[in-house]
Structure 1
Amino acid sequence: MPIFEFRCSACGSKFDVLVGMTQERDDAQCPKCGSADVKRLVSRFRRGRSEEARLDELSDRVETWGEPESPSEMRETLKEMGRALDDDASEEMEQLFEAEHENP
């Protein structure tokens, strides 16, 4: 069954929907706020990996990284970790870094 990715226009949340082959694809609803005002996104291809497999792979990669020495290095490290976990938290972290940069 295909997995479609959506973004909620009301709250900005990004979420996935597992859709059956014969099911209507336009009836998605935001799990966070319940809004039906959602837009389907063009998603990147994902390998079917368990969360444990993703964490193991990330752990192996993190061991080769050094300690971040500046806020910009920390920012890039956290963004890379978010991408590796296919997590929307990287966007939230970006907003926090922007807010911190504007109000030191």
Structure 2
Amino acid sequence: MPIYEYRCQDCQKKFSTLVGVVAGTEEVICPNCKSAKVTKLVSIFARYRSEDDRIDAIADQLEFMDEPDSGAEMRSLMREMGKATDDDVSDEMEAMFEADMEGKGDDE
């Protein structure tokens, strides 16, 4: 069943809803203000992937990757891994990278 995006004409909130493929049309109601005055939006196609799928994709990339040569490459890799696991570790990782570049790592 497809997921469609709508915008409420009363409260202007954008929302998504799962719509059946049966010929009968069900009235779509805004979950925010309960209005039936909604407009269907044109949205891009998206393939929803599980966390395992995202981690597997990164693991496949790592198989063919050499050691990162620079801090920028390592940062990019860590950001991708954070996105794949839905973890927002960017601030912590940025602080670690900065400390490492300044020679203030945990090794001292």
Q: TM bucket by the smaller chain?
A: 0.3 to 0.5
The higher radius of gyration belongs to 2
Q: Could you tell me the TM-score, scaled by structure 1's length?
A: 0.48
